[in-house]
Amino acid sequence: MSYDADVIIVGGGLAGACAAFRLSPHFDVYLLEAETPAAGASGAAAGLVNPFVGRRARPVWRLREALDAVSSLVADAGVPNLFPPRGVLRPVIEDDQEAPFREAAAEYPDLAQWLSPAEVADRVPAVQTDVGGFFVPRGGSIDVAALVRAVLDAAVERGATVETQAPVLYWRETPSAAVVEAERGDDTEELRADRVILALGQGHPPFPELRRLGLEGVKGQTVRVRRPEALPTPLLPLSGHGYVVPDGDTLILGSNYNNNFNNLDPDPDATAYIREKTARMVPGVDTADVVEVRAGVRVKHTNTNLPILGPLPQRTRLWTFTALGSKGLLTAPILAEALPTYLADPATIPEAVQIPS
């Protein structure tokens, strides 16, 4: 059987880019992206690498391996500068945050530290807290769109082919191949591979086979504001009441969660909400000049906060890698790193991320 590639990846967001990069040393990889890389949620996210999430600072799935995988990804792709070792500070803003933050710091002393109010003020003078904060030294922030582009460039250097403006119209599986039909202007072309990995993110709704997986989109947005001149320095990435990520002479503020939306346009009410809540961490960001507002849709599974990876139901050659949710920076790299092993033996895919039955 003659293939156009060993593996065809559909989708050029974070999942597709990581998969292409990690598979390209082992397989002939062809990636198809309907628009441009990171055109969806990957391009709207602020890129906070925080392995302790939510109001109770819950550890993400395989947090130590996940942090290692993020560092390995940027190093192996030749862009370690995209993930400077600044850490993430979670100041206590609400009274009910203190106990879980302290407990998490005690349980993971190698990954987190509890800081007194004086220590918080010393590290980040712009933050005011009467209680203290939770510091994650190995956390930080990454420009997700820049990461996706860099990882795809590195995959191309390893031999992968990346084609943009190439929507996939349908796919099918035969005993000898997985087949996708890609749009070529006014025409179409069928491409064959041993395996196809569908990493479509919010591009999934038109395809019944993906809709049946129980995926849902959650709209969110970020607000980029001009950094107030009076803001004390230094400023670390913050996650306590929303998040604040410094980026040059601007700050990226986020985020909100909207399960009911009719379009992907930024919402002025959401912008006001994000600015108001982040001002409780960093006073003044609610009145700073707005530079840009971006919206995107995170895709998650309705019953889990973990991504899903593996063959589609009743399929062997058609796979999916999706549902990264809001923690894709900590799950896409670790899963992509093991993807060559998973393709060779699907039984090795961790049960937690297998497609729910």
Residue 62 located in a structural domain = no
List the CATH number of the domain containing 260. Answer: 3.30.9.10
Cis bond upstream, residue 72 (ω within 30): no
Check whether residue 172 and residue 284 sit in a common domain: no
Q: What angle do CA 20, 149, 3 make, to 5 degrees?
A: 30
Same domain, 150 and 129: no
Residue 76 lies in a domain: no
C-alpha distance from residue 30 to each of 19, 53, 161, 171, 326 (Å): 11, 35, 5, 15, 27
Domain containing residue 21: 5-44+145-214+303-353
DSSP 3-state of 5: strand
CA distance 96 to 189: 57
Number of domain units in the chain: 2
Q: With respect to residue 167, please indicate whether it lies within any of the assigned structural domains.
A: yes
In the beta sheet, which residues pair with residue 122?
none
Boundary (domain end) residue, out of 257, 275, 299: 299
Domain assignment of residue 74, yes or no: no
Residue among 132, 72, 122, 124 nearest 101 (CA): 132
| Full pLDDT tens readout for the chain, 357 residues | 578 999 999 999 999 999 999 999 999 999 999 999 888 767 777 789 999 998 889 999 999 999 999 999 999 999 999 998 899 999 999 889 999 999 999 999 999 999 999 999 999 999 988 999 999 999 999 999 999 999 999 999 999 999 999 999 999 999 999 999 999 888 999 999 999 999 999 899 999 999 999 999 999 999 999 999 889 888 999 998 899 999 999 999 998 889 888 888 999 999 999 999 999 999 999 999 999 999 989 999 998 889 999 999 999 999 999 999 889 999 999 999 999 999 999 999 999 999 987
52 occurs within a structural domain: no
Round to whole Å and give the CA distance between 89 and 124.
9
Give DSSP secondary structure letters for 49-79. Answer: E-SEETTTTEEPTTHHHHHHHHHHHHHHTT-
Same domain for 209 and 102 = no
Q: Do 177 and 202 fall into the same domain? A: yes
